[in-house]
Chains A and B, each alone.
Chain A
Amino acid sequence: MEIVAFCCQWCSYAGADLAGTSRLKYPADIRIIKIPCSSRINPTFILKALSKGVDGVMVAGCHPGDCHYATGNYFTRRRLTILKRLLEFSGINPERLQLYWISAAEGGKFAESVRDMVSRLERLQDKPFPRNPGISL
């Protein structure tokens, strides 16, 4: 499984750290990119990752209402809700993009979310974006 994760530094990245300090185990299929806030995620980052054939993109931010920057995650929620619909329409299973709300105190939830993401992706029947769709058909 190949999963790229974007974690906001205040909540979910700290949650991932807490999962570490608590020695919780989760699959090694995930690579985390630290960003200041989930609202820093440009939809094109996600499109780009998916177009390279990764199985899934995980986005994690502070719980709604708890954003370090007050409102960032509300924008993210709106954008990604629509982006999922667009992915679906373009033939990518929207399950491949997941957004989790994980606070700095939720090390357990972080580990659980990674496991959740992996198990969701394992259940999918369809394939991710082809690795080499070629120059032309």
Chain B
Amino acid sequence: MKNQSYVELTNILKQKIDRLLSEKIVDYMIVYEKGSLWFKTRPKMIRKQTDMEKVIWNRYCQFNLSTFLKSLSGKDENIGIIAKKCDLGSIVELIKNNQIKKENLYILQVACDGVINWQKLENLLGTKVAKAIEVEEDSPNLVIKMPERNIEVLKNDCLPDKCLICDFQPSPYANDFLTIVDEKIEDIKEIKSQPLPNLEPLDNMSYEERLGYWLKHFSRCMRCYACRNVCPVCYCSTCMFDGQEGLWISKESKTSDNYVYHLTRAFHVATLCVECGECQRVCPVNIPLMKLNSKLAKEISDTFGYQAGLLIDDLSPFKTYCQEDPDEFK
């Protein structure tokens, strides 16, 4: 989408939110506002129409606002939330798992054709994004306006993995879908045909190489738990690793305990994880956590034909069974 399209969409969005608040359809809205730098955004909860000016919508609204819904269960307020197509999946999971009632939620889906992962962009540019002045789209490229010159990069190379497999269509669970007429419909198909982020490099390793690979990563884990805290489907009131401290893993950050933590985390979000990529995005030491999540999602899909975040009425395959389930045991 062109920058102008984002501006127009932001205006429609503001009008919409204004109406939702003034007509008391929602008590407050969870929205994006401008972050510390021009290419950063941050979440904002607005209750007053006077805060409306802060609402923005642009290609840097990468993170998943639904993570702010998970601590709200039990409160009887009506909440409005801005959601991209990818965020709808985790909202569906939160509804499925009784963390929020659908009737208390107003989901405002906004047209999106991919958000920018500025770390990826930075790697492409070889310099800090902060040095740039502006980014404009010139399909299929992005034009990065630097003080001295413009740099063009392929937009797809700057998208997070989740955008490469997204159809960007309206979700049946959205209360409203905000869009503008844009010439981008054709490109959407093109984006969809991108290959899936694959797990092959690991598949070809021996067990020892693979364990070594993971232990190298896990040895860097400081157990800051950012991956857990940001995860929209890590909704437990008290995480098992906090509840009875030192019970499951020791307090010191041992690699073997980190292994237990990370595999348990992945297993716990399996059947709920919608692969929004937030855990990996926020990891301060860049552990490729999405590899674990994607692997489990794939296994669960292959074995039980189940995909998280699709339908509110779907039951997690771990909460049901078939007598004829595959049985590889003796």
Q: When A and B assemble into the complex, do they touch directly, with CB atoms less than 8 Å apart?
A: yes
> Residues of A at under 8 Å CB distance from B?
43-44, 47-48, 51-52, 64-65, 71, 74-75, 77-93, 98-101, 113, 116, 126-127, 129-130, 133-137
Is B213 in contact with A91, judged by CB distance below 8 angstroms?
yes
A90-B263 contact given A44-B248, A81-B303, A98-B330, CB 8 Å threshold: yes
Instruction: Output the least CB separation between A120 and chain B (Å).
Output: 10
B21 interface residue, CB < 8 Å from A?
no
Contact residues in A for B264 (Cβ distance below 8 Å): 43-44, 47
Instruction: Output the least CB separation between A42 and chain B (Å).
Output: 9
Partner of B263, one of A47, A101, A136: A47
CA distance A81 to B328 in the complex (A): 8
Per-residue CB proximity of B250-267 to A under 8 Å, as 1/0?
001111110110011011
CA distance A85 to B210 in the complex (A): 13
Is A92 in contact with B260, judged by CB distance below 8 angstroms?
no
Is B220 in contact with A136, judged by CB distance below 8 angstroms?
yes
Per-residue CB proximity of B230-270 to A under 8 Å, as 1/0?
00000000001000000011001111110110011011001
Closest A residue to B262 by CB, please name it: A90
Closest B residue to A100 by CB, please name it: B330
Contact residues in A for B318 (Cβ distance below 8 Å): 75, 78-79
Is B208 in contact with A116, judged by CB distance below 8 angstroms?
no
CA distance A54 to B201 in the complex (A): 27
CA distance A5 to B267 in the complex (A): 21
Is A51 in contact with B260, judged by CB distance below 8 angstroms?
yes
Partner of A86, one of B252, B254, B266, B330: B266
Instruction: Output the least CB separation between A72 and chain B (Å).
Output: 10
29 cross-chain CB contacts under 8 A: A44-B240, A44-B260, A47-B263, A64-B323, A74-B321, A74-B322, A78-B304, A78-B318, A78-B325, A82-B296, A82-B299, A84-B328, A86-B267, A89-B291, A92-B207, A92-B211, A100-B330, A126-B208, A127-B208, A129-B259, A133-B215, A133-B254, A133-B259, A134-B219, A135-B252, A135-B253, A135-B255, A136-B220, A136-B255
Classify chain B's interface size. Answer: 35 or more
Partner of B254, one of A43, A71, A74, A135: A135
Contact residues in B for A92 (Cβ distance below 8 Å): 207, 211
B135 interface residue, CB < 8 Å from A?
no
Count, A-B residue pairs, CB within 8 A: 129
Is B325 in contact with A133, judged by CB distance below 8 angstroms?
no
Give me the 10 closest cross-chain CB pairs, A-B, nearest first.
A91-B211, A91-B210, A74-B321, A133-B255, A126-B207, A99-B329, A51-B256, A137-B219, A85-B299, A44-B264
Closest A residue to B267 by CB, please name it: A43
SS class, residues of chain B in contact with chain A? helix
Instruction: Output the least CB separation between A101 and chain B (Å).
Output: 6
Is A89 in contact with B267, judged by CB distance below 8 angstroms?
no
Pick from A81, A84, A116 the residue with the most CB of B within 10 Å: A81
Partner of B329, one of A86, A100, A133, A137: A100
CA distance A80 to B249 in the complex (A): 21
Is B295 in contact with A89, judged by CB distance below 8 angstroms?
yes
CA distance A87 to B260 in the complex (A): 11
Instruction: Output the least CB separation between A17 and chain B (Å).
Output: 20
Closest A residue to B300 by CB, please name it: A82
Partner of A113, one of B210, B292, B322, B330: B330
CA distance A105 to B264 in the complex (A): 35
B327 interface residue, CB < 8 Å from A?
yes
CA distance A112 to B267 in the complex (A): 31
B73-121 interface with A by 8 A CB criterion: none
Closest B residue to A135 by CB, please name it: B254
B214 interface residue, CB < 8 Å from A?
yes
